[in-house]
Amino acid sequence: MGDQTADVVIIGGGCMGASVAYHLTRLGITDVVVVEREPMLGMGSTGRNAGGVRHQFSSEANVRLSIESIRLFERFQEEVGYEIDFHQDGYLFLLSTEAALESFRRSIEMQRSLGVEVELINADEAANLAPGLKVDGVIAATYCARDGICDPSGVTQGLAKVAQSAGVRITRETEVTGVRVEAGRVSAVETSRGVIKTGTVVNAAGPYARDVGRMIGLDLPIDPYRRHIFITEALARADEEHPAENGLAFPRSHIMVIDFESTFYFHREGAGILFGMSDASEPSGYNTSVNWEFLELLTPIAVKRLPGLAEAPIAHAWAGLYEVTPDAMPIIGPASEVEGFFIIGGFSGHGFQHCPAAGRIIAEMIARGEASGVEAAQFSLRRFSNRAVQPETNVV
């Protein structure tokens, strides 16, 4: 590659990096380099998540990110020019405690005030929405029909290709080894293929954002946590001609079902079922190997909610990394300590679905000094030192 210059260097070629690049070009900034260490874009957390897209958050700031992002997903082909596999079959949150129900009631009121159509339904109605679901102990559920499942790889590739066609350079299999700072401002990015002189750097390194921050002496409160996903082999679906045996059935749609108390979730994936669950005992780290002992812990909870899984062999499994902040809210904005250094990370498991809005915010901050339609303080790194922290509670 040799030494280069660029107006903006984006570290990380996942959905966030691609979104920032795309939105910068829409604002007329095309002298941009995206540096990705893997052979392909989106091979990190972007390519290892369940693809969920939802409005149902407890934080108004997150709901606003969802509203904007889902609007782009809905018209992705028209605006970006690429097909994405977007199924809006809804999200169903199962609630088993009065405390959870009260919290979700408050969230629903806030979501509806923003124009989100979300329903509070009873357990029987929830069971009807997802054939095969058992609702023992469920006292209520919430459902939003415009939530759904989307293809993270398709979104990332679409945004990146449009950015490239506008002049953005994407450098793969390239490791960032350092970020130079002169007189309090970013001056260059050092890579395994040479130096890129620049006055603006975007840290879109996902679970590695803290490592990149340390390159300028900044300790970002972003830690990686392993999360597992399992996909079953193809399942026979119950229908009128072939009724379910022993009452076993599976959803025909791609509805995402989340048992809020346990965090167990599942949705249709091709002819099988994709499912997973958070592991509260998992320490922070970069391990992405599959821990099959965790499947043994997960199985009883999974079978309780979707009994058909007891007879379903596992076809695929993988682990990815959540990038978690203390309040489960992202950091989107500049680092006040070093001019020209921007952070877009710490989405705590809901990053992919917010990449359109978050990328737009960072691009506007770079191009105009501020972003429209957002209170920057809500996502500012400074909120942790100011203790102005209002955590997101709807995290799975």
Q: What is the pLDDT of residues 343-391, one digit of tens each?
A: 999 999 999 999 999 999 999 999 999 999 888 889 999 999 876 668 9
116 and 191 belong to one structural domain: no
Helix (H) or strand (E) run with residue 334 in it: strand 331-334
pLDDT of residue 245: 42
Determine the distance from the C-alpha atom of residue 378 to the mean position of all C-alpha atoms in its chain, rounded to a whole number: 18
Position of tokens 């130079």?
180
168 and 191 belong to one structural domain: yes
Q: Give the pTM.
A: 0.94
Q: Is residue 64 part of a domain?
A: no
Q: Is residue 24 part of a domain?
A: yes
167 and 216 belong to one structural domain: yes
254 and 369 belong to one structural domain: no
As a whole number, the mean pLDDT across the chain is 93
Strand, coil or helix: 169? strand
DSSP states of 33-88: EEE-SSSSTT-SGGGGS--EE-S--SSHHHHHHHHHHHHHHHTHHHHTS-----B-
Query: How many separate domains does the chain show?
Result: 2
pLDDT of residue 236: 64
- Which CATH number characterizes residue 135's domain? 3.30.9.10
Position of tokens 């965090």?
263
165 and 200 belong to one structural domain: yes
Confidence check: pLDDT of 243 > 70: no
- Specify whether the CB–CB gap between 9 and 340 falls below 8 A: no
* Parent domain of 374: 4-51+152-222+327-386
Q: Is residue 253 part of a domain?
A: yes
Cβ neighbour number for residue 145 with a 10 Å cutoff: 14
Torsion over CA: 365, 348, 322, 337 (sign)? positive
- Angle between the N-to-C axes of helices 60-74 and 355-368, in degrees from 0 to 180, rounded to the nearest 10: 100
Beta-carbon contacts of residue 155 (< 8 Å; ≥ 6 apart): 15, 18, 73, 76, 84, 352, 355
Beta-carbon contacts of residue 100 (< 8 Å; ≥ 6 apart): 260, 261
Retrieve residue 388's tokens.
Answer: 């102005």
Per-residue pLDDT reduced to its tens digit, 127-162? 999 999 999 999 999 999 999 999 999 999 999 999
Confidence check: pLDDT of 241 > 50: no
H-assigned helices in 130-170: 152-165
Q: Is residue 67 part of a domain?
A: no
pLDDT of residue 220: 97
Q: Is residue 79 part of a domain?
A: no
Q: Is residue 68 part of a domain?
A: no
Retrieve residue 121's tokens.
Answer: 């339904």
